[in-house]
A = this chain, B = another copy of it.
Amino acid sequence: MNQTIETILNHRSIRSFKNEPLTDEQIHTIVQSAQAASTSSYIQAYTIIGVKDPAKKKKLAELAGGQSYVEENGHFFVFCADLYRHENIGKWEDADVISSLESTEKFMVAMIDASLAAQNASIAAESMGMGICYIGGIRNDLEAVSEVLQLPHRVIPLFGLAVGHPAADSSVKPRLPLNAVYHEDAYMSDEAGMKAELDRYDETISSYYHERTGGKRSDRWTEQMAKMLSGKKRMYMKEFVEKRGFDKR
Protein backbone atom coordinates (compact mmCIF):
# COMPACT_ATOMS: atom_id res chain seq x y z
CA MET A 1 0.00 0.00 0.00
CA ASN A 2 1.44 3.37 -1.00
CA GLN A 3 1.39 6.52 1.14
CA THR A 4 -1.45 8.14 -0.77
CA ILE A 5 -3.76 5.17 -0.26
CA GLU A 6 -2.69 5.04 3.37
CA THR A 7 -3.70 8.70 3.75
CA ILE A 8 -7.03 8.02 2.07
CA LEU A 9 -7.88 4.96 4.18
CA ASN A 10 -6.79 6.70 7.35
CA HIS A 11 -9.43 9.42 7.01
CA ARG A 12 -11.49 10.38 10.01
CA SER A 13 -13.33 13.67 10.56
CA ILE A 14 -11.51 15.98 12.94
CA ARG A 15 -13.68 18.22 15.11
CA SER A 16 -11.07 19.87 17.31
CA PHE A 17 -8.21 21.91 15.91
CA LYS A 18 -5.18 23.67 17.32
CA ASN A 19 -5.17 27.45 17.18
CA GLU A 20 -2.62 27.46 14.38
CA PRO A 21 -3.69 29.24 11.20
CA LEU A 22 -2.62 27.73 7.90
CA THR A 23 0.09 29.66 6.09
CA ASP A 24 -0.74 31.28 2.76
CA GLU A 25 1.51 28.73 1.13
CA GLN A 26 -0.47 25.85 2.64
CA ILE A 27 -3.75 27.44 1.53
CA HIS A 28 -2.30 27.91 -1.94
CA THR A 29 -1.26 24.24 -2.16
CA ILE A 30 -4.70 23.08 -1.02
CA VAL A 31 -6.54 25.28 -3.53
CA GLN A 32 -4.19 24.30 -6.34
CA SER A 33 -4.84 20.65 -5.50
CA ALA A 34 -8.58 21.30 -5.58
CA GLN A 35 -8.27 22.87 -9.02
CA ALA A 36 -6.33 19.91 -10.39
CA ALA A 37 -9.42 17.69 -10.13
CA SER A 38 -11.30 16.70 -13.27
CA THR A 39 -13.95 19.12 -14.47
CA SER A 40 -16.88 18.40 -16.78
CA SER A 41 -16.12 19.79 -20.28
CA TYR A 42 -13.50 22.06 -18.67
CA ILE A 43 -16.33 24.13 -17.15
CA GLN A 44 -14.70 24.65 -13.70
CA ALA A 45 -18.07 25.57 -12.26
CA TYR A 46 -17.14 26.36 -8.68
CA THR A 47 -15.64 28.99 -6.42
CA ILE A 48 -13.98 28.45 -3.08
CA ILE A 49 -14.29 31.10 -0.39
CA GLY A 50 -11.65 31.03 2.33
CA VAL A 51 -12.99 32.66 5.48
CA LYS A 52 -10.46 34.45 7.68
CA ASP A 53 -12.56 37.22 9.24
CA PRO A 54 -13.28 36.07 12.84
CA ALA A 55 -16.71 37.73 12.88
CA LYS A 56 -17.73 35.89 9.73
CA LYS A 57 -16.42 32.59 11.08
CA LYS A 58 -18.40 33.11 14.27
CA LYS A 59 -21.54 33.84 12.28
CA LEU A 60 -21.06 30.77 10.08
CA ALA A 61 -20.51 28.58 13.16
CA GLU A 62 -23.83 29.80 14.55
CA LEU A 63 -25.63 29.23 11.27
CA ALA A 64 -24.19 25.70 11.06
CA GLY A 65 -25.88 24.88 14.35
CA GLY A 66 -23.27 26.01 16.84
CA GLN A 67 -20.36 23.85 15.67
CA SER A 68 -17.31 25.32 17.42
CA TYR A 69 -14.87 23.84 14.89
CA VAL A 70 -16.36 26.03 12.15
CA GLU A 71 -14.97 28.96 14.11
CA GLU A 72 -11.88 27.33 15.62
CA ASN A 73 -9.64 25.73 13.02
CA GLY A 74 -6.61 26.39 10.86
CA HIS A 75 -8.69 27.60 7.94
CA PHE A 76 -12.30 27.46 6.83
CA PHE A 77 -13.26 26.97 3.18
CA VAL A 78 -16.73 27.21 1.67
CA PHE A 79 -17.17 25.34 -1.61
CA CYS A 80 -19.75 26.90 -3.91
CA ALA A 81 -21.37 25.79 -7.14
CA ASP A 82 -20.74 28.75 -9.44
CA LEU A 83 -22.31 29.58 -12.80
CA TYR A 84 -22.18 33.36 -12.33
CA ARG A 85 -18.84 33.44 -14.16
CA HIS A 86 -20.48 31.65 -17.08
CA GLU A 87 -23.44 34.00 -17.14
CA ASN A 88 -20.95 36.83 -17.63
CA ILE A 89 -19.19 34.90 -20.36
CA GLY A 90 -22.53 34.58 -22.13
CA LYS A 91 -22.89 38.38 -22.06
CA TRP A 92 -19.33 39.05 -23.22
CA GLU A 93 -19.48 36.47 -26.01
CA ASP A 94 -23.05 37.41 -26.94
CA ALA A 95 -24.25 33.81 -26.52
CA ASP A 96 -27.57 32.55 -25.20
CA VAL A 97 -26.43 30.43 -22.29
CA ILE A 98 -29.28 30.91 -19.83
CA SER A 99 -31.26 27.73 -20.63
CA SER A 100 -28.11 25.71 -20.10
CA LEU A 101 -27.19 27.47 -16.89
CA GLU A 102 -30.65 26.90 -15.44
CA SER A 103 -30.84 23.22 -16.38
CA THR A 104 -30.79 20.38 -13.88
CA GLU A 105 -27.86 18.94 -15.88
CA LYS A 106 -25.69 21.98 -15.17
CA PHE A 107 -26.80 22.01 -11.53
CA MET A 108 -25.44 18.47 -11.33
CA VAL A 109 -22.26 19.39 -13.20
CA ALA A 110 -21.52 22.29 -10.84
CA MET A 111 -22.12 20.15 -7.78
CA ILE A 112 -19.98 17.28 -9.05
CA ASP A 113 -17.17 19.67 -10.10
CA ALA A 114 -17.15 21.38 -6.71
CA SER A 115 -17.19 18.07 -4.84
CA LEU A 116 -14.32 16.54 -6.81
CA ALA A 117 -12.31 19.69 -6.11
CA ALA A 118 -13.16 19.57 -2.40
CA GLN A 119 -12.06 15.98 -2.05
CA ASN A 120 -8.72 16.80 -3.66
CA ALA A 121 -8.37 19.65 -1.18
CA SER A 122 -9.14 17.27 1.70
CA ILE A 123 -6.64 14.64 0.61
CA ALA A 124 -3.97 17.30 0.05
CA ALA A 125 -4.52 18.69 3.57
CA GLU A 126 -4.53 15.23 5.13
CA SER A 127 -1.34 14.29 3.29
CA MET A 128 0.31 17.28 5.01
CA GLY A 129 -0.68 15.93 8.41
CA MET A 130 -3.75 18.11 8.86
CA GLY A 131 -7.27 17.03 9.67
CA ILE A 132 -10.49 18.01 7.95
CA CYS A 133 -14.22 18.08 8.54
CA TYR A 134 -16.91 18.70 5.95
CA ILE A 135 -19.60 21.03 7.24
CA GLY A 136 -22.99 20.27 5.70
CA GLY A 137 -24.49 22.33 8.52
CA ILE A 138 -24.04 25.53 6.50
CA ARG A 139 -26.97 24.26 4.41
CA ASN A 140 -29.25 24.95 7.39
CA ASP A 141 -29.63 28.50 6.13
CA LEU A 142 -28.07 29.16 2.74
CA GLU A 143 -29.79 32.51 2.40
CA ALA A 144 -27.89 33.80 5.44
CA VAL A 145 -24.62 32.12 4.44
CA SER A 146 -24.87 33.70 0.98
CA GLU A 147 -25.31 37.08 2.61
CA VAL A 148 -22.26 36.63 4.85
CA LEU A 149 -20.14 35.67 1.84
CA GLN A 150 -21.77 38.24 -0.49
CA LEU A 151 -22.53 35.67 -3.14
CA PRO A 152 -24.03 36.86 -6.42
CA HIS A 153 -26.84 35.17 -8.36
CA ARG A 154 -26.03 31.68 -9.73
CA VAL A 155 -23.68 30.88 -6.85
CA ILE A 156 -24.73 28.41 -4.12
CA PRO A 157 -22.69 27.41 -1.09
CA LEU A 158 -22.65 23.60 -0.94
CA PHE A 159 -20.65 22.78 2.17
CA GLY A 160 -17.86 24.06 4.37
CA LEU A 161 -14.50 22.41 4.91
CA ALA A 162 -12.73 23.00 8.22
CA VAL A 163 -9.01 22.29 7.98
CA GLY A 164 -6.29 22.41 10.59
CA HIS A 165 -3.86 20.69 12.87
CA PRO A 166 -5.78 18.15 14.96
CA ALA A 167 -6.05 18.91 18.69
CA ALA A 168 -7.76 15.59 19.38
CA ASP A 169 -7.86 12.38 17.44
CA SER A 170 -10.95 10.46 16.47
CA SER A 171 -11.40 7.02 15.01
CA VAL A 172 -12.07 5.73 11.51
CA LYS A 173 -15.80 4.98 11.19
CA PRO A 174 -16.58 1.62 9.59
CA ARG A 175 -18.14 1.92 6.16
CA LEU A 176 -20.85 -0.25 4.57
CA PRO A 177 -19.57 -3.70 3.54
CA LEU A 178 -17.83 -3.41 0.20
CA ASN A 179 -20.34 -5.78 -1.40
CA ALA A 180 -23.22 -3.55 -0.41
CA VAL A 181 -21.75 -0.55 -2.22
CA TYR A 182 -19.91 -2.20 -5.09
CA HIS A 183 -21.86 -4.36 -7.56
CA GLU A 184 -20.65 -5.92 -10.78
CA ASP A 185 -22.40 -5.57 -14.15
CA ALA A 186 -25.82 -4.91 -12.62
CA TYR A 187 -27.37 -3.49 -9.47
CA MET A 188 -28.09 -6.24 -6.94
CA SER A 189 -31.51 -5.15 -5.85
CA ASP A 190 -32.52 -8.38 -4.13
CA GLU A 191 -34.19 -7.09 -0.96
CA ALA A 192 -33.48 -10.12 1.25
CA GLY A 193 -29.80 -10.09 0.33
CA MET A 194 -29.58 -6.39 1.06
CA LYS A 195 -31.30 -6.88 4.41
CA ALA A 196 -28.89 -9.66 5.43
CA GLU A 197 -25.91 -7.50 4.47
CA LEU A 198 -27.22 -4.50 6.43
CA ASP A 199 -28.06 -6.67 9.44
CA ARG A 200 -24.42 -7.68 9.64
CA TYR A 201 -23.35 -4.07 9.22
CA ASP A 202 -25.75 -3.03 11.99
CA GLU A 203 -23.95 -5.39 14.35
CA THR A 204 -20.58 -3.87 13.43
CA ILE A 205 -21.85 -0.33 14.00
CA SER A 206 -23.63 -1.23 17.19
CA SER A 207 -20.43 -2.64 18.74
CA TYR A 208 -18.42 0.30 17.35
CA TYR A 209 -20.58 2.78 19.29
CA HIS A 210 -20.76 0.50 22.32
CA GLU A 211 -16.98 0.32 22.58
CA ARG A 212 -16.37 4.00 21.94
CA THR A 213 -18.96 5.26 24.45
CA GLY A 214 -18.42 2.70 27.18
CA GLY A 215 -21.83 1.19 26.53
CA LYS A 216 -23.79 4.46 26.45
CA ARG A 217 -24.63 4.17 22.75
CA SER A 218 -25.28 1.09 20.68
CA ASP A 219 -27.48 2.31 17.84
CA ARG A 220 -27.63 0.40 14.61
CA TRP A 221 -26.85 2.14 11.30
CA THR A 222 -30.29 1.45 9.81
CA GLU A 223 -31.88 2.86 12.97
CA GLN A 224 -29.75 6.01 12.69
CA MET A 225 -30.71 6.42 9.06
CA ALA A 226 -34.42 5.93 9.72
CA LYS A 227 -34.32 8.53 12.49
CA MET A 228 -32.31 11.00 10.46
CA LEU A 229 -34.51 10.67 7.37
CA SER A 230 -37.75 10.94 9.35
CA GLY A 231 -36.72 14.46 10.28
CA LYS A 232 -37.67 16.53 7.27
CA LYS A 233 -34.53 18.60 7.13
CA ARG A 234 -33.81 21.60 4.89
CA MET A 235 -37.01 21.29 2.93
CA TYR A 236 -36.56 24.91 1.78
CA MET A 237 -33.74 23.78 -0.51
CA LYS A 238 -35.71 23.35 -3.75
CA GLU A 239 -37.09 26.88 -3.56
CA PHE A 240 -33.71 28.35 -2.65
CA VAL A 241 -31.83 26.59 -5.41
CA GLU A 242 -34.35 27.70 -8.05
CA LYS A 243 -34.37 31.25 -6.74
CA ARG A 244 -30.61 31.31 -7.20
CA GLY A 245 -31.01 30.33 -10.86
CA PHE A 246 -30.20 26.61 -10.67
CA ASP A 247 -32.20 23.45 -11.43
CA LYS A 248 -35.10 25.33 -13.02
CA ARG A 249 -35.63 23.44 -16.27
Which A residues are within 8 Å of any B CB, using their own CB? 1-5, 7-11, 13, 27-29, 31-38, 40-44, 46-53, 56, 80, 84-86, 88-90, 92-93, 95-97, 99-101, 103-106, 108-109, 111-112, 115-116, 118-120, 122-124, 127-128, 132-134, 136, 139, 149-152, 155, 158-159, 172-173, 175-176, 178, 180-187, 189, 191, 194-195, 198, 221-235, 237-238, 241, 247, 249
Number of copies: 2
Contact A123 B38 (CB under 8 A): no
Residues in B whose Cβ lies below 8 Å from that of A198: 85, 89
Contact A128 B35 (CB under 8 A): no
CB distance from A59 to the nearest CB of B (A): 12
Contact A187 B8 (CB under 8 A): no
Residues in B whose Cβ lies below 8 Å from that of A181: 31, 34-35, 44, 46-48
In the complex, the chain B residue whose C-beta lies closest to that of A239 is B104
- Most chain B CB within a 10 A radius of its CB, from A97, A132, A229: A229
**Complex: how many Å from CA A28 to CA B181?**
11
In the complex, the chain B residue whose C-beta lies closest to that of A199 is B92
Residues in B whose Cβ lies below 8 Å from that of A241: 104
Residues in B whose Cβ lies below 8 Å from that of A97: 225-226, 229-230
Contact B178 A31 (CB under 8 A): yes
